[in-house]
Amino acid sequence: MQFSGEDESRIIEMAWEDRTPFEAIYLQFGLNEKQVIQFMNKRLKVSSFKLWRTRVSGRKTKHIKLRSKDVIRGYCPSQYKHR
């Protein structure tokens, strides 16, 4: 799939966000978890990719089925602060 630079940046941002599940990336961009992993592997430095994989592996908030029913939003309230 071809994405614009802006879309690629947004996919990377969503993948790094703790509370954004892979399903949200799929709904918005059509990439499943495996494809997101491949996408990140191609676009990040090796060290950054390893750090990201360690961060998201086993993280319950990255999968809708695993996350607590108490989580009703996809982002942290302080995430979108005005700069």
CA 69, distance to chain mean position in Å, is 19
Q: Hey, where are the domains in the chain?
A: 5-62
pLDDT of residue 82: 53
CA distance 1 to 21: 20
CA distance 46 to 53: 11
Query: Closest by alpha carbon to 22, among 60, 50, 62, 73?
Result: 62
pLDDT of residue 64: 64
Its pTM stands at: 0.74
For the chain, give the mean pLDDT.
83
- Identify the H or E element spanning 61: none
pLDDT value at 32 more than 70: yes
Number of residues that this document lists for the chain: 83
